[in-house]
Structure 1
Amino acid sequence: MTTNPELERWNERFSSDDYLFGTAPNAFLVSQSHLLRPGQRVLAIADGEGRNGVWLAEQGLEVLSIDFSPVALEKAHRLAASRNVMLRTQQADMEIWNWAPEQFEIVVAVFIQFARPDLRAAIFQGIKRTLTPGGLLILQGYRPEQLGYGTGGPPHAENMYTADMLRSAFADFDILHLQEHDSPLSEGQGHHGMSALVDCVARKRSL
């Protein structure tokens, strides 16, 4: 049987009883709650142990939480059960994920910076494809300056975002919010301390 070292690495990272990134939702995502409506279909990309997907479900949204690691997804189900919400999950390799057209009103992409530049470009194109007209992307990521902080994220500057890069990547969207800032994070052991961040909310233009 062929093993996948990257899958084994993520399964190992999520193998603890503790939640690597905590169980509270991402603060930037919560700050955008005014954009969310019960019943909206949401895709939570690389949602890990479910902290964001479960929170979205608690707001009455229909959530599909996808992640590479089945260990993480099992923990996401446990978290959803503890909060008495339903969370659909699917194991997903973003290298081969099928982005069904116009399936989701919201896409949440919080710290999905495992993706090298070519995969990131493919994911961004997939997000554009799978959002409905008028649908929203809610994204937070690290900027290259994060390497100086060392408080989370991969050690690869090329995987990071800048506001200019996001503005260019989503030039065909309406940018509702785009901000670079340095702020402290407290998201479990995985993201903890002062961090170089960029936030983005973008709306797919209606035809």
Structure 2
Amino acid sequence: MNFWDQSFSISGYKYGVAPNAFLVEQQVRFRPGGDVLVPGDGEGRNGVWLAEQGHRVTAMDGSAVGLTKAQSLASERGVELRTVLGDLADWEPEPACFDAVVLVFVHLPAAIRVGAHKRLAAALRPGGWLLLEGFHPQQLQHRSGGPKDPAMLFTPELLRDDFAGLLEEALAWQGEVVLDEGPGHQGLAHTTRWLGQAPG
């Protein structure tokens, strides 16, 4: 059983069932009823919420346990969710077939991250949005969640480099937020929030 299968095997939802606050705030930018890809969607809280807003959602994750819980949450809420089991180290979405890509606390080893980010940016249609929230290196001072490896954390500069030539930056912010996302993310945190748009 992989790390995430184990994490998601708890009763209830590790990161709760409410959507991420930054996503809720920015989703108005997305094309209504668009195709949205949510890599690393875990137990489905963000994908299911996006489906409730009328989007056609593909939730992708490396945990079969998480995706099973995502499907049951979608059934409970009466929405459709397409799920894909895959590994972001080599998973390649079809190019130019999504209106938005949503990355919420998807922290990858540096060796994998750049390639994964490029493939995900390439999945956007012209004018499509990539939304990302992740922990900043200053998160290491807090106990509210996230990896302990500084190389897996995000600064706006790092994201700017990852998506250079692929996306136009629309928003870059880092600072303190209070997280209330299930038992997994609780309390004061330092995060980076980033929005980029595919040209055209």
Normalised-by-shorter TM-score class? over 0.9
The equivalences for 1:120-199 within 5 A come to 120-172=113-165, 173-199=167-193
Aligned length, in residue pairs? 199
Aligned residue type for 1:83? R
Tell me by how many angstroms 1:96 deviates.
2.0
CA contact (8 A) 1:38 1:61 kept: yes
Q: Secondary structure at the match of 2:176?
A: strand
Q: Secondary structure at the match of 1:186?
A: strand
Match of 1:62 among 56, 59, 64: 56
| Structure 2, unaligned runs of 5 or more | none
Q: Secondary structure at the match of 1:32?
A: helix
The aligned counterpart of 1:201 is: 195
Match of 1:93 among 78, 87, 91: 87
Q: Secondary structure at the match of 2:2?
A: helix
Q: Secondary structure at the match of 2:137?
A: coil
The aligned counterpart of 1:39 is: 33
The aligned counterpart of 2:11 is: 17
CA contact (8 A) 1:136 1:204 kept: yes
* Residue 100 of structure 2 corresponds to residue 106 of structure 1: yes
CA contact (8 A) 1:14 1:20 kept: yes
The separation in 1 between residues aligned to 2:153 and 2:188, in whole angstroms, is 16
The separation in 2 between residues aligned to 1:8 and 1:169, in whole angstroms, is 27
* Residue 110 of structure 2 corresponds to residue 117 of structure 1: yes
Tell me by how many angstroms 1:175 deviates.
1.0
Identity of aligned residues (%): 40
**Normalization by structure 1: what TM-score?**
0.93
The separation in 1 between residues aligned to 2:179 and 2:126, in whole angstroms, is 32
| Structure 1, unaligned runs of 5 or more | 1-6
Tell me by how many angstroms 1:31 deviates.
0.4
